[in-house]
């Protein structure tokens, strides 16, 4: 075992070297996404269609059952679903991010974090194809002001920052423990209903603590609230920033400690 100082230095060095070598992850990440649709008729627009169906379905069904049948609710759902799908798919697919690239990892001597960055590029590319649905729904409800958009983009940057360490941690765990992928898929399915993606936290009344105790609520809020012209909930940014600060330090340490063993776990 390495000492904490050495582990941090090794982890940080691998991560910094990876960021610098963009050719190892930018274009390959894009191709990881686009090649999955190479033989299809709609190409990546399958993602747009799927998202439109999700937003439309949830919007129509729950706008009536929750008694909020307006375009504002549809905007609430669409931002929620787009952000949730990014976070959820990143978390579940990260468990296989190293395993799916085993032939490359075992034949090249590249910093292993480049595969994490590559996976994030592919996940972001996928989310990009969900944006047209968001734009359409926002155009139907209330188009946000430039300031609101900027604040929402800032929230998106917070989520991106989280992706950088969450994907690495889950990737390592998923490579070492084959159960991680299945456990995460199950957890994310449950959390979809336990997170205010399509329902409002204040609708829980006295039990809104359930939503507040869930960090995903705050990650959703920093992106969604500004776009809808609502104030970001108290403490949401604190949770996002504190989670990232702790997560980054922890990930660099764990990464420095275990990234050498990665090749033996494949």
Partner 1 sequence: MDNTTGALSSGSDPGFRDFSVQLRRVTLEMSLVQRRGRGFALRDGIAAASRVPRRMTVLDDVSLTIGRGERVGVIGHNGAGKTALLRIVAGIYPPTAGACETRGRVSCLFNTALHGYGDATALEFIVLVGLTRGLSRKQVSSRIPAIARFSEIRGHIHAPIRTLSKGMRTRLSFAIAICIDWDVLILDEEIGTSDLRFLAKARRRIKDAEDGKTLMVASHNSRVIRDLCDRAVWIHKGRIRASGGVDELLAAYRAHHTKRRRDLEQTGG
Catalog residues that contact partner 1 under the rule CB under 8 A. Answer: 21, 23-24, 27-28, 31-32, 35, 38-39, 100-101, 103-110, 179, 260, 263-264
Q: Of the two residues 3 and 39, which places its CB atom closer to partner 1 in the complex?
A: 39
Supply the minimum distance, in Å, between the C-beta of residue 105 and partner 1. 8
Supply the minimum distance, in Å, between the C-beta of residue 257 and partner 1. 13
Q: Of the two residues 110 and 244, which places its CB atom closer to partner 1 in the complex?
A: 110
Contacts of residue 176, defined as CB under 8 A and 6 or more positions apart, other chains included, come to 258, 265
Q: Of the two residues 182 and 189, which places its CB atom closer to partner 1 in the complex?
A: 182
Supply the minimum distance, in Å, between the C-beta of residue 27 and partner 1. 6
Please state the length of the chain. Answer: 266
Q: Of the two residues 32 and 47, which places its CB atom closer to partner 1 in the complex?
A: 32
Supply the minimum distance, in Å, between the C-beta of residue 164 and partner 1. 20
Angle at 52 between CA 144 and CA 233, to 5 degrees: 40
- Report how far residue 203's alpha carbon sits from residue 181's, in angstroms, rounded to the nearest whole number: 32
Helices (H), the chain: 4-20, 26-34, 45-65, 71-94, 102-105, 113-128, 131-140, 146-176, 179-194, 209-212, 215-227, 236-258, 262-265
With beta carbons less than 8 A apart as the criterion, state whether 195 and 214 touch. Answer: yes
Supply the minimum distance, in Å, between the C-beta of residue 227 and partner 1. 35
- Shortest CA distance to 224 belongs to which of 74, 101, 118, 103? 74
Q: Of the two residues 36 and 128, which places its CB atom closer to partner 1 in the complex?
A: 36
Q: Is 108 helix (H, G, I), strand (E, B) or coil?
A: coil
- Report how far residue 58's alpha carbon sits from residue 56's, in angstroms, rounded to the nearest whole number: 6
Q: Of the two residues 184 and 232, which places its CB atom closer to partner 1 in the complex?
A: 184
Supply the minimum distance, in Å, between the C-beta of residue 264 and partner 1. 5
């Amino acid at each position: 075992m390495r000492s904490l100082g050495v582990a941090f230095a090794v982890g940080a060095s691998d991560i910094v070297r990876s960021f610098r070598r963009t050719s190892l992850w930018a274009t390959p990440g894009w191709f990881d996404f686009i090649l999955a649709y190479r033989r299809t008729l709609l190409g990546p627009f399958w993602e747009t269609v799927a998202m439109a169906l999700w937003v439309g379905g949830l919007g129509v069904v729950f706008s009536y059952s929750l008694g909020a049948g307006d375009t504002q609710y549809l905007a609430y759902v669409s931002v929620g679903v787009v952000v949730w799908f990014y976070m959820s798919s990143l978390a579940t697919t990260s468990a296989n991010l190293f395993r799916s690239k085993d032939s490359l990892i075992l034949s090249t001597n590249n910093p292993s974090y480049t595969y994490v960055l590559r996976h994030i590029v592919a996940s972001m590319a996928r989310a990009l194809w969900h944006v047209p649905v968001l734009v359409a729904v926002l155009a139907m409800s209330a188009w946000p002001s430039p300031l609101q958009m900027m604040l929402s983009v800032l929230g998106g940057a917070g989520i991106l920052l989280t992706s950088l360490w969450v994907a690495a941690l889950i990737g390592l765990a998923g490579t070492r423990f084959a159960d991680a992928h299945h456990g995460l898929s199950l957890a994310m399915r449950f959390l979809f209903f336990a997170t205010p993606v399509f329902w409002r936290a204040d609708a829980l009344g006295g039990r809104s603590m359930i939503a507040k105790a869930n960090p995903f609520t705050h990650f959703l809020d920093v992106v969604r609230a500004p776009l809808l012209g609502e104030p970001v909930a108290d403490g949401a940014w604190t949770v996002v920033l504190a989670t990232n600060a702790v997560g980054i330090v922890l990930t660099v340490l764990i990464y420095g400690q275990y990234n050498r063993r990665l090749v033996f776990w494949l």
